[in-house]
Homo-oligomer: A and B are copies of this chain.
Amino acid sequence: MVTGRDESRGRRIRLGMVGGGNDAFIGGVHRIAARLDDRFELVAGALSSTPEKARASAEALGLARSYDDFKAMAQREAQRKDGIEAVSIVTPNHVHYAAAREFLKRGIHVICDKPLTSTLADAKKMAKAVEHSGALFVLTHNYTGYPMVRQAREMVESGAIGTIRVVQVEYPQDWLTEAQEGAGLKQAEWRTDPARSGAGGAVGDIGTHAFNLAGFVTGLRAERLAADLQAFVPGRRLDDNGHILLRYEGGARGMLWCSQVAPGNENALRLRVYGDKGGLEWAQEDPNLLWHTPLGEPKRLITRGGAGAGDAAARVSRIPPGHPEGYLEGFANLYTEAADLIEAARTGKTIDTLLPGITDGLAGMQFVDACVKSSKQDAKWIDLD
């Protein structure tokens, strides 16, 4: 009988969580994502800003150590020999920076939900905090974790579609078609509240995902944008629909549509990229497929794990083609790559990953800021630094 158990225990990274108490959607997603590949063990949390709720949530999860606030958590975990090595921050946006700072300055790695912060000012402070910390910072633009998104990026890099001319990215949803924020839905409340969400509504919540995805796949930097934002639902204080024109370095042009008032769309993030030699199309709701349309040849449907799918997809794939992987698996890929990074960091090594980080987070906040500015000036073009 081989007893490898203690070694294994050692291998699971000790993880904490800020936010993610009962009722929160994204906290549970992070926990499953962290667990899926068996690389993390959640051992501590400040799961809510309301102490009673924090405790109840921790108990429900069977969590070892529960804290009433993230600052106490950071302090005390930093002092423990078996303290957390990394923390997931899954609060509303306005708390991201204050929470992350506490952990970063104590050398605890941060895995933070998007968008980076609620304000561009906070985002810049976050960037400084990351710069001055020895710890790692990962931003969960989870859609970049999908195998076929990786595949698309790899194909663009390899020249499969030639020089990119046109980027079409859209992210429609329908869950805010009516005023859910007045109907007691927590998720809707903070997302439509400028104090907690920031200056962007749909554009911050999902527009940043779309913007990030387009950049991730194409490798292109957006230089300017013109945005026409609108709050269609009466009384809503933040945009629930955005129409955005983009100009990328090198001359490519883009359109980005994000909406939370488009009935029939659940989570319909979709990216299409066209170059002078071909096109690529990927849709989040059918994530195991990637269309490749080389000019002058039949359309090709590449499947995760199937013929035509390369190394970049294989690295983040677990099961054979035809066995659909989904949202949680894509999200888990970020956690598993974060685990690789953290383990490398233990021994002073660095490794290459495609993980989104502080740079992407800052770019996302600049995107939101530029959208809001542009829209206030009747869709005037705004430079993205």
Contact = CB atoms under 8 A, between A and B. Distances in A.
B318 A328 contact: yes
Contacts of A232: 165-166, 276
Contacts of A11: 62
A346 interface: no
Nearest to A256: B255
A78 interface: no
Contact of A306 (B243, B262, B266, B324): B266
Instruction: Specify how many copies of this chain sit in the oligomer.
Output: 4
Nearest to A305: B266
Interface string A145-175: 0000000000000000100011010100111
Contacts of A321: 266-267
Contact of A264 (B3, B9, B255, B279): B279
A85 interface: no
Contacts of A230: 165, 253
A24 interface: no
Interface stretch (A31-39, A118-126, A128-136, A213-221): A31-39
A7 to B, nearest CB: 5
Nearest to A296: B307
A107 interface: no
A349 interface: no
Given A174-B295, A278-B263, A55 B2 contact: yes
A66 B3 CA distance: 7
Interface stretch (A188-196, A280-288, A363-371): A280-288
A1 interface: yes
B263 A66 contact: no
A299 interface: yes
Given A5-B64, A319-B327, A306 B298 contact: yes
Contact of A7 (B38, B62, B268, B324): B62
A8 B307 contact: no
Interface in A309-357: 318-329
10 contacts: A1-B67, A4-B58, A255-B255, A262-B274, A263-B279, A264-B291, A266-B320, A298-B300, A299-B303, A318-B328
Given A263-B275, A379-B381, 13 more contacts: A5-B62, A8-B64, A32-B36, A32-B37, A168-B257, A226-B226, A228-B247, A243-B254, A266-B321, A298-B308, A299-B301, A319-B328, A379-B379
Interface of A: 1-5, 7-9, 11, 25, 28-29, 31-32, 35-38, 43, 55, 58-59, 61-67, 76, 161, 165-166, 168, 170, 173-175, 177-178, 226, 228, 230, 232, 241, 243, 245, 247, 253-255, 257, 259, 261-268, 272, 274-279, 281, 284-288, 291-303, 305-308, 318-329, 378-379, 381
